[in-house]
Amino acid sequence: MSFVRTGMRQTAYGHLSATTAGIKFRRIALQSARGYASKLIKYNWEDALLLDSQLTDEEKMVRETARNYAQEHLLPGIVQATRTETFDTKIMREMGDRGLLGSTIEGYGCAGVSHVAYGLAAREIERIDSGYRSAMSVQSSLVMHPINEFGSLEQKEKYLPRLATGELIGAFGLTEPNHGSDPAGMETTAKRDGSVYRLNGSKMWITNSPIADVFIVWAKNVEENGKIRGFILERGMKGLSAPVIDGKMALRASITGMIQMDDVEVPVDNMLPNAQGLKGPFSCLNKARYGIAWGVLGAAENCLGIARNYALDRKQFGVPLARFQLVQAKLANAHSEIALGLQACLRVGRLIEEDQLAVEMISLIKRNSCVKALEISRNMRDILGGNGIADEFHIIRHLNNLEVTNTYEGTADIHLLTLGRAVTGIPAFAATD
């Protein structure tokens, strides 16, 4: 059907007069002209969907604080820290000085900023290295959050102010040598003995544990038929040790170890009173996963920026690498995935603030960001060729780190199954489900 039949009242709009139809067509033409004018707006590839315009002034301030700190204090030493597998504890105090630890918590010396602001900070720190963001994330989401959310007033007042400044360093013990994706199967136990609980067991792959002053440990309480409870342990308790894990090929700029407990006596008052079952540790993990979703995109952005500059400078066959279609395709794909991923993270951050978060949203963005960031790092490394494995170009470090972020805090496959359960209503985590 043509839109207007000359001399007839029948049009694509229905029974309208020719005059009315003409007016409508003129409106469409005007709208099209306006649409064309909008195409003249210059495209900013570094902020493709105008994320900056969606942020509050406070969020921008937090981002700039984290960016300046990361670029001025973390970047200069990252290559050497990775080579020597060292983490300087002063970094925690420096982050604390800038309000980056436990930043979403209200009171107790914490900044009390939005979750979007926290995500932006994670992005800037991980632009340098995932290990540094991990240290910040563990302190904020896995140690300070459970104390603030599930702790007593006395526990909050005792620990949070000193954790916020970085004076105290925290670690989180959930994963065990034989239990990763299935934390319900944990073997660590707590048994009441008068005024103390006796904790026995071990935790594995624990960020910060060798340098931690405070440990949030999850154990099955024998007196409650194995109900999972959280406990605050302190360095120096008899029977408690936290040996380092050496020889990592990723996250080398952060420190990782174990938590070993041999009849450790923990005062009854050190149990988190308001955490029962897996809801407690999962609440912590979802906080951390949210920050990871933002953070890994910062690492991916760094890889993209390095590869872009390299492709513009490096010449082969008499022209820059950026002149070749396959190179442009890799850069454009990376650019697209980062822009879309950031918008997803921003939206989830706003939903957290509006108390409209479904936990599956965390699985969606954590998995998406981690899978895409890892793919981006591999493709950007490829653009650099042999130079891509040299540590001074940074990409190979990001690539190795992103192999880990794709696995920890819930593997990509586990998050995929979480989403599959949401779509189908059928759990498929194990053969017995």
> Exposure of 355 by Cβ count < 10 A (0-12 exposed, 13-18 middle, 19+ buried)?
exposed
Q: Cα(147)–Cα(159) distance, rounded to whole angstroms?
A: 8
Q: How far apart are the first and last CA of the chain?
A: 56
Do residues 4 and 11 make contact, with C-beta atoms less than 8 angstroms apart? Answer: yes
Nearest to residue 296, comparing CAs of 372, 409, 205, 388? 372
Residue environment code for 46-57, b if the CB has 16+ CB neighbours within 10 A, otherwise e: eeeeebeeebee
Q: Cα(84)–Cα(12) distance, rounded to whole angstroms?
A: 72
- What are 384's two structure tokens? 């650099």
Helix pair 279-313, 325-353: axis angle to 10 deg: 150
In the chain, the amino acid numbered 101 is L
In the chain, the amino acid numbered 307 is A
In the chain, the amino acid numbered 344 is A
Residue environment code for 379-416, b if the CB has 16+ CB neighbours within 10 A, otherwise e: bbbebbeeebeeeebbbbbbbbbbbbbbbbbbebebbb
Do residues 100 and 63 make contact, with C-beta atoms less than 8 angstroms apart? Answer: no
Nearest to residue 166, comparing CAs of 216, 106, 97? 97
Q: Cα(334)–Cα(380) distance, rounded to whole angstroms?
A: 8
Residue environment code for 194-226, b if the CB has 16+ CB neighbours within 10 A, otherwise e: eebbbbbbbbbbbbbbbbbbbbbbbbbbeeeee
Q: Cα(268)–Cα(273) distance, rounded to whole angstroms?
A: 10
The pairing of beta strand 319-320 with beta strand 315-316: antiparallel
Give the active site residues: 409
Q: Cα(300)–Cα(109) distance, rounded to whole angstroms?
A: 32
